[in-house]
Structure 1
Amino acid sequence: MASRKGRAMDERVEKTPDATLHQRILADIEGHILSGEWPPGHRIPFEHELTRQYGCSRMTVSKALGDLVRRGLIERRRRSGSFVAHPQVQSAVLQVHDIRQEVEALGLTYAWRTESRAARGARSDDRKRLDLPARARVVAITGCHYAGRQPFCHEDRLINLTAVPDAENQAFDDNVGPGTWLLQQVPWNAAENRIRAVAAEPDVAALLGIAPGTACLVIERRTWISDLHVTQVRLTYPGDRHELVAAFTPSQS
């Protein structure tokens, strides 16, 4: 009886439709990636390895990997194999985005880690960044946003305590980054973006897990309430993981 049952189960496995195996391969690899178990740059098993693992045709494996490429989860490199892709994000130039939402839109787990935080009198450089009077006070905070287990963006921010006094006692230590908190608390009504391409300085490169000198995209943003500056932030993204998009219409003469 047991042997007949075993043979029946084997027959059912052998008759498993390719479509079902395709979905299983797709779900398994996607699960490894979205959980962070396979970080960006991780090599996916070769097609012949997956064919042997799942007991299916190479065409079924190739189709599943192709779907993952189209979803932006993996990239194929000629003669090297398939690798987990780095997150690619598009941001509109004329909007203020919540980085947490950008990360979660990719299907990845978001995290914020504070590097340094200080509430203090504004220094000369602080006053230039936020156009502040001599006796102004600020919160200066730096840290990294993470997508899964990988650094996503480095943040260097000043918050004007005259505009946002509650920031002095905000720890920013529960995976709530300063930008997310400010968007929830402060009804800003004007903003300015400045965008530059830079070579990563050694300290920022180390935090982002990239080589010093790597091309990066830097967005410097200031926001106001009426004529009062709220915050100035410098966001540094590895250049191959972020792009900016501007939508516009013809000017009216």
Structure 2
Amino acid sequence: MSAPKGWEAIRAEVLARIDRRDWAPGAVIPSEADLAEEFGVARATVNRALRELARQGVVERRRRAGTRVATHPVRKATLDIPVTRLEVEGRGQRYEFRLLERVFAAPPPVVAGRLGLAPGARLWHLRTLHFADGRPYLYEDRWLNPAPLPGRAPPAEAAQISINEWLVRNVAYTFGDISFSAEAAGEAEAAHLGIAPGAALFVIERTTWAGEVPITLVRLAYAPGYRLHTLL
């Protein structure tokens, strides 16, 4: 067959094969490398097509387990990684941030395990406090793998626009996972956010990956009153 052109055409072809039951619900489809060879395109083009199908709930993607046709396709909420500055300014508020810590250190075992790294690996640990109209808005605790970074370290620019914004602009990810929870504020979070220990916080934990390479694990603790808005 003639090769599809662009990720949109590959997405359409994969969807057509699923609709024809060439790949039944629950079946593992060919790997990105195999599809790229079949269609005569770069693997990144196939990856983009499959990511879009995963966002639509047509396929399910698992690290090291491949891509599987969804057994019960569903519509999914759209969740992008937000730039905190734009989030605050979109509320009509003045944005500031303060970098509290930047060290190169061995992470706790639970962090290394979440990122699939061997014991003894060293990561950048960055803690940032974001403000809206001068009041604490978000406390960010991030472990960052140097491997996918230009120069293997956050550049000086990251101190000017926050590591959150720098990563969104400069380091592409292929997939990740995210969790949401309501948690009681620990002493450190309470002190930085100016609230009482034990106060209820909305917490997001997120990991991102570039292929098999982990990028970051970040914990975001929002001050009381935060609301998450997304699309269906």
Q: TM-score, normalised by structure 1?
A: 0.56
Equivalent residues in 2 for 1:47-126, closer than 5 Å? 94-126=79-111
Whether the aligned pair in 1 keeps the contact of 2:112 and 2:118 (CA below 8 Å) is: yes
Contact 1:192 1:223 in 2 (8 A): yes
Q: 1:207 to 1:93 in 2, by over 3 A?
A: farther
Tell me the alpha carbon deviations over residues 29-67 of structure 1, each in whole angstroms, 9 at most, x when there is no partner: xxxxxxxxxxxxxxxxxxxxxxxxxxxxxxxxxxxxxxx
Instruction: Find the aligned partners of 2:148 and 2:209 in 1 and give their Cα distance.
Output: 9
The match for 1:220 among 205, 210, 214 is: 205
Residues matched between the structures, number: 155
Quick one: percent identity of the two aligned structures?
Answer: 33
SS in 2 for 1:239: coil
2:40 equivalent in structure 1: none
CA distance in 1, matches of 2:110, 2:151: 23
Runs (5+) with no aligned partner, structure 1:
1-91, 249-253
Distance 1:108 1:119 in 2: 33
Superposed displacement of residue 94, structure 1: 2.0
When residues 173 and 247 of structure 1 are mapped into structure 2, their CA distance, relative to the original with a 3 A threshold, is: closer
Match of 2:194? 209
Q: Which runs of 5+ in 2 are unaligned?
A: 1-76
Rg larger in structure: 1
- The CA deviation at 1:152 is 0.6
Tell me which of 159, 167, 187 is aligned to 1:173: 159
Residue 128 of structure 1 is matched in structure 2 by 113
Match of 2:140 among 149, 155, 164: 155
Q: How big is the shift at 1:145?
A: 0.5
Range with bigger deviation, 158-167 or 224-233: 158-167
CA contact under 8 A between 1:199 and 1:216: conserved in structure 2? yes
Residues 202 and 123 of structure 1, relative CA distance in 2, 3 Å threshold: closer
Residue 243 of structure 1 corresponds to: 227
Aligned-CA RMSD value? 1.9
Aligned residue in 2 for 1:143? 128
